[in-house]
Structure 1
Amino acid sequence: MEKYKRIFVIVLDSLGIGEMPDAARFGDHDVDTFGHICDIVGTLNIPNLKKLGLLNLHPTKEMEEERHPIAYYTRLKETSNGKDTMTGHWEMMGLKIEKPFLTFTDTGFPPELIHELEERCGKKVIGNKCASGTQILDELGEEEIKNGSMIVYTSADSVMQICGNEETFDLKNLYRCCEIARELTMKNEWKVGRVIARPYVGKKKGEFVRTSNRRDYALKPFSRTALNALKDGGFDVISVGKINDIFCGEGITKAYHSESSVHGMQQTVDVCKEDFHGLCFTNLVDFDTLWGHRRNPVGYAKEIEKFDVGLGNLLEVLKEDDLLIITADHGNDPTYTGTDHTREYTPFIAYSKSMKENGRLEDQDTFAVIGATIADNFGVTMPEGTIGTSLLSQLK
């Protein structure tokens, strides 16, 4: 018998809560996204996250813990070999990634790949290096516009990112080029986790701004996940934000594209007002893309406060038989060196108006407890080869 009719999983993209024991293996030392943000700004106006127990899970110097938290909370380790978006989300839904996705951080993409991309797209590639998205626009945006070129770059993630000015490149043409890039990078020697369309507007350095028309072309999950099990079982699986892109539509029954994290939370509130039966899976990406990668702890702090406002709106409309889970997919400490994600624990906060108890749960060894808990609630069997143990019985 189902405990909850609807489950909402909200991923605060990159809101890590302290380094994992194996962080040094990933080049990270003393990383703590939430903690270091709090060290910089002092206090955050987050009454809803506080009452759910975030400060009990991760105490700070200047903010008091909640005396009577209303949710269950714990830390999750990532068992997969990585610290990127796809690895984190796929693990949540039961997949363990043993082999990291290919990266081209140090060398750029191979000449053979770039040549074929230029031939197929009809544009000269410029860039082809590891760079910050905003920096490379300032460096090469004017050249792209003047010469009709195509900016291609990567990061420490397994990604190929392609920039295009919406006025001169044309959005449909940008998407076409990204589809070609996705096809080319399906080869084993070039296989990246995602190709990302990065449209922008503006005419000169200092004025370039990326738009919300980003589109991700991800690899399909290598096996079935909890999402497939839910969909096959006849349940709704509603995605908000880039969840649909991360899973290539696998296991999704309805998808909503978000223009920002604030918009994504409003969409989640709107979905909550609908009558559905199953899962609403939301990713709020601005924490990561706007503030984590750009190493802006103050902007990140303000984004957390904006989320807390949206969270308050969601808490008001949640029903007695709804379950809310708040988590993250990796860290991205805005006080750390470089611009890469950081290998951190992530929060697991679970709340329902029907809960009679609350408090700290034991740390968990995998993000996959999320998918296992969801499958357990709806009485569906996790696909063969997946990992994770349900926490449903502990949510009382």
Structure 2
Amino acid sequence: MFRRIIIVVLDSVGIGASPDATEYGDSSSVNTLANIARSQGGLFLPVLEKLGLGRIASIQGVEPVAKPLAGFGKMAELSKAKDTTSGHWEMAGCPVFTPFPVYPEGFPAEVIERFVTYTGCGSVLGNKPASGTVILDELGAQHMATGHPIVYTSADSVFQIAAHEDIIPLSKLYEFCQIARDKVCVGEHAVGRIIARPFIGEPGAFSRTANRHDYSLEPGAVTVLDRLKDAGQQVIGIGKIGDIFAQRGLTQSLKSKSNDEGMSHLANLLSQPGQPGLIFANLVDFDSVYGHRNDATGYAKALERFDAQLSLLLPQWQADDLLLITADHGCDPTSTGTDHTREYVPLIAYYPGAAGTDLGIRNTFADIAATIAENFSLPSLPYGQSFLKSL
């Protein structure tokens, strides 16, 4: 049916607690979109409203229009996790059933010892779960004085390394991360992601830069990206998609340091004829800049900015290009804590002339992979049910 499928992942834009949210330490009242809207007295999202967002859930300021311009629904996560890696892998048809290891007490001595030995960094600071901005305030000055990297984690399966760009150059920080990926966080300690967290500034005024880099595990099974690439189709990743899939299954990877840059890449690609295939974009600011920092106001403004950018793109949309707007998990900035939240994610499926079908509640994010596979006549994957015919 479609020459190209474009997935836009609004990182962390959940739409209500999953039935199993309490099993993941979350309240049954978490709802990233609805709670942000409530906290701000409503959201102004006229384009998403017309596409059917208000038909998925009750969101203050977003009306449930009678005749949406897109298919609409929501998806539950099948994976035993609530993080970026599991969410994206599941969208690609590879759910995660064995949770990645997490370290609520910090990493064991053997992991830190291996990291220090292989990197030659002398020692590390931190080694505990922490907010990325708080730990800079706590240990940034000591890091500058000693030159030792700051190692920390979160509720997610991540090994994060923070370093001032003037103390440990980016090339060295990236080298540390690659060593951690290849030699340290392996076997039983194979975390989902190693993350470089560079920062700049002086004590009392540190700020993280856009030079973050993620080093993910490779998916544990074949994904629809692999199938597309093997079939000779174009597969373009925008933002951290390349990092999440360890560059596997992609024919091109376009880095972006912000939502705006990601949307700019997308606009450029859509303005070109391009080959058939998949464009897979992640807009990370919702999560990293606003969700994890409990900034509901900033989050709301970012959502409204995305809606305005979408208003410029949709009039140029080709009839044989399918747009899928979704998310990978929640990160409710109004909840206690700064971690991801286990939520349903929205599903909006648009092309000019779409019937506005109610796609219902999907049992897995892998329905996206199944839909892509059916559209491009690829062999089916073990998980997911296509909604292509419903469109």
Give the TM-score normalised by the residue count of structure 1: 0.96
Residue equivalent to 2:130:
131
Does structure 2 retain, via aligned residues, the 8 Å contact 1:229–1:382?
no
Query: In structure 2, do the counterparts of structure 1 residues 119 and 229 end up closer, same or farther at CA, with 3 Å as the change threshold?
Result: same
Kept after mapping to 2: 8 A contact 1:241/1:258: yes
Please say if 1:22 is aligned against 2:20: yes
Do the aligned residues in 2 keep the contact of 1:79 with 1:365 (CA within 8 Å)?
A: yes
Deviations 1:276-323 (A, max 9, x none): 210000001111111111111111101101111221222122111110
Aligned to 2:216: 218
Is the partner of 2:347 in helix, strand or coil? Answer: strand
Matches for 1:48-197 after TM superposition, within 5 Å: 48-105=47-104, 107-123=105-121, 124-197=123-196
Matched, 1:6 2:4: yes
Separation in structure 2 between the aligned mates of residue 78 and residue 210 of structure 1, nearest angstrom: 30
Q: 2:296 is matched with which residue?
A: 297
| Alpha-carbon separation, structure 1, partners of 2:63 and 2:72 | 16
> For the residues of structure 2 that align with 1:61 and 1:87, how far apart are their CA atoms?
30
Secondary structure of 1:83's partner?
A: coil
Q: Distance in 2 between matches of 1:99 and 1:34?
A: 28
Secondary structure, aligned partner of 2:338 = coil
Tell me which residue corresponds to 2:228.
230
Does residue 339 of structure 2 align to residue 337 of structure 1? Answer: no
Deviations 1:339-360 (A, max 9, x none): 11111111110000142x1132
Instruction: For residue 236 of structure 1, report the CA deviation from its aligned partner.
Output: 0.3
For 2:19 and 2:140, the matched residues in 1 are separated by: 41
Q: Give the whole-Å Cα distance in 2 for the aligned partners of 1:12 and 1:187.
A: 30
CA contact (8 A) 2:330 2:343 kept: yes
**Is contact 1:55–1:65 with CA below 8 Å preserved after alignment?**
yes
Q: Is the 8 A contact 1:292 1:339 kept in 2?
A: yes
Aligned to 2:42: 43
Pairing 1:248–2:246 present: yes
Q: 1:62: how far off? A: 4.3
For 1:278 and 1:62, locate their aligned partners in 2 and report how far apart those are by CA, in whole Å: 35
Shift of the alpha carbon at 1:27? Answer: 1.1
Output the CA distance in 2 between the equivalents of 1:258 and 1:48. 24
Q: CA deviation at 1:161?
A: 0.4
Out of 114-123 and 55-64, give the one that drifted further: 55-64
- For 1:137 and 1:122, locate their aligned partners in 2 and report how far apart those are by CA, in whole Å: 22
CA distance in 1, matches of 2:158, 2:118: 19
- Aligned-residue Cα RMSD (Å) equals 1.2
Whether the 8 Å CA contact 1:35–1:60 is kept in 2: the answer is yes
Distance 1:334 1:234 in 2: 41
Q: 1:162 to 1:186 in 2, by over 3 A?
A: closer
2:329–2:342 contact (8 Å) kept in structure 1: yes
In the alignment, does 2:387 pair up with 1:391? yes
Q: Which residue of 2 aligns with 1:365?
A: 363
SS at match of 1:361: strand
Q: Which residue in the other structure is 1:381 paired with? A: 379
Deviations 1:34-67 (A, max 9, x none): 0100110012221111111111212234443224
Alignment-mate amino acid for residue 360 of structure 1 = D
Give me the whole-angstrom Cα distance separating, in 2, the residues matched to 1:298 and 1:276: 39
- How do 1:253-332 and structure 2 match up within 5 A? 253-274=251-272, 275-332=274-331
For 1:120, the aligned partner's letter is Y
Report deviation, 1:186.
Answer: 4.2
C-alpha distance in structure 1 between counterparts of 2:236 and 2:337, whole Å: 35
Q: Which amino acid aligns with 2:93?
A: G
* Secondary structure, aligned partner of 1:250: coil
Partners of 1:21 and 1:36 in 2: CA distance:
17
Task: Supply the AA of the counterpart residue of 1:278.
Answer: G
C-alpha separation in 1, matches of 2:58 and 2:111 = 48
Unaligned residue ranges in structure 1 (runs of 5+)? none
CA displacement, residues 354-380 of structure 1 (integer Å, 9 cap, x when unaligned): 42x113222110100101101111111
> Cα deviation per residue 1:6-42 (whole Å; 9 max; x = unaligned)?
1100000111100111111111111100010011001
Q: Secondary structure at the match of 1:163?
A: strand
- 1:182 alignment partner AA: R
Q: Is 2:14–2:327's contact at 8 Å kept on the other side of the alignment?
A: yes
Structure-2 separation of matches of 1:266 and 1:67: 32
- How far the C-alpha of 1:117 sits from its partner, in A, is 1.1
Contact 2:4 2:278 in 1 (8 A): yes
Which deviations, in whole Å up to 9, do the C-alpha atoms of 1:227-286 show, x marking residues without a partner? Answer: 000000110000000011101111100000001011111111111112221000000111
User: How far off its partner does 1:188 sit?
Assistant: 1.9
Amino acid at match of 2:111: L
Gaps of 5+ in 2: none
- 1:179-213 CA-partner distances (Å, limit 9, x unpaired): 111123442221100000011111222x2111111
Give the residue type in structure 2 aligned to 1:183: D
